[in-house]
């Protein structure tokens, strides 16, 4: 292998979740987003189920996404009495502050040959590839799982089946500036080497 491992280690540590308030309003080139998606597609999956599905909203599509998620939110929360006008407006308008928003989903394999947890894990690997590719291009992004992510009703809105999973929203934009790396607890607290 002839990769620059120092650069690769640095890339991993420089990856950050960068939120729409820290985007400068410019558009990210579609070609970069396409490259992020191509790399996501190289994630591992057990038995090659490749369960990741992505819907890419951009330009006028962002308005559409805002309408979809605020409408689903309204329909669900008006029924259970938890509706908040502030949340509704936030869901309607938040996509507009991004350049692209990718709806992240897991499509359950028809044969059910692999446990669900493995399909979800594979999608998470694909999302990490999105994150790392974005970092390499200096593009800001973050994986959000708030809003309507876990509403059963959201699945129909994005063309998903009951056994599929909506796994969140991947926001993309041009960063105002790149934030400093965050902290992590010591790896030694999370590992154990067994050598004999
Ligand atoms: C599965 C998953 C879901 C997440 N959902 C949210 C979210 O709903 N809202 C949010 O602010 N950040 C969310 N994040 C981003 C984390 O807050 C972020 O990764 C964490 O703070 C570490 O920061 P870093 O990514 O910059 O290292 C999520 C991350 C993951 C992996």
| Per-residue pLDDT at 54 | 98
Q: How confident is the model at residue 110 (pLDDT cuts 50, 70, 90)?
A: confident
* Closest by CA position to 66, among listed 147, 156, 129: 147
Q: Which of 143, 146, 180 to mutate to test the pocket of ligand 1 (most atoms within 8 A of CB)?
A: 143
**CA 172 to ligand 1 center in whole angstroms:** 14
- Whole-structure pTM value: 0.97
The structure tokens 């090659």 sit at: 48
| Spatial distance between the Cα atoms of 154 and 146, rounded to a whole number of angstroms | 12
Per-residue model confidence (pLDDT) at position 111: 80
Query: Exposed, middle or buried: residue 93 (CB in 10 Å: 0-12, 13-18, 19+)?
Result: middle
Per-residue pLDDT tens over the stretch 163-173: 999 999 999 99
Is the CB of residue 144 below 6 angstroms from any atom belonging to ligand 1? yes
| Residue bearing the CA closest to ligand 1, atom 17 | 17
159-180 mean pLDDT: 98
**How close is the Cα of 73 to the center of ligand 1, in Å?**
21
| pLDDT in the model for residue 189 | 98
Nearest CA to ligand 1 atom 21: 17
% the chain with pLDDT above 70: 99
Owner of token pair 């499509």 = 107
With a cut of 80, say whether residue 144 has pLDDT above it.
yes
Q: Whose CA is nearest to atom 13 of ligand 1?
A: 144
Closest residue by Cα to atom 30, ligand 1, is 143
Computed over every residue of the chain, the mean pLDDT equals 97
- Is residue 179 within 6 Å of ligand 1 at its C-beta? no
Question: Among candidates 173, 135, 159, 140, which has minimal Cα distance to 53?
Answer: 159
Res 116 pLDDT > 80:
yes
């Amino acid at each position: 292998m002839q990769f620059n491992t120092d650069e690769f280690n640095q890339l991993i540590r420089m990856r950050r979740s960068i939120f729409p308030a820290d985007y400068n309003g410019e558009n990210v080139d579609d070609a970069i987003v396409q490259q992020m998606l191509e790399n996501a597609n190289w994630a591992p999956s057990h038995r090659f189920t490749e369960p990741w599905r992505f819907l890419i909203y951009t330009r006028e599509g962002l308005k559409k996404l805002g309408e979809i998620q605020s409408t689903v939110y309204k329909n669900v929360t008006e029924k259970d009495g938890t509706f908040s006008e502030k949340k509704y407006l936030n869901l309607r308008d938040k996509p507009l502050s991004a350049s692209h928003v990718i709806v992240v989903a897991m499509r359950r394999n028809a044969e059910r040959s692999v446990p669900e947890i493995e399909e979800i894990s594979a999608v998470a690997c694909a999302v990490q590839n999105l994150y790392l590719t974005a970092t390499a291009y200096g593009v800001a992004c973050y994986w959000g799982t708030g809003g309507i992510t876990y509403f059963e009703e959201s699945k129909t809105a994005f063309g998903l089946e009951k056994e599929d999973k909506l796994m969140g929203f991947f926001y993309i934009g041009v960063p105002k500036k790149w934030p400093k790396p965050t902290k992590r607890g010591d790896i030694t607290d999370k590992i154990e080497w067994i050598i004999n």
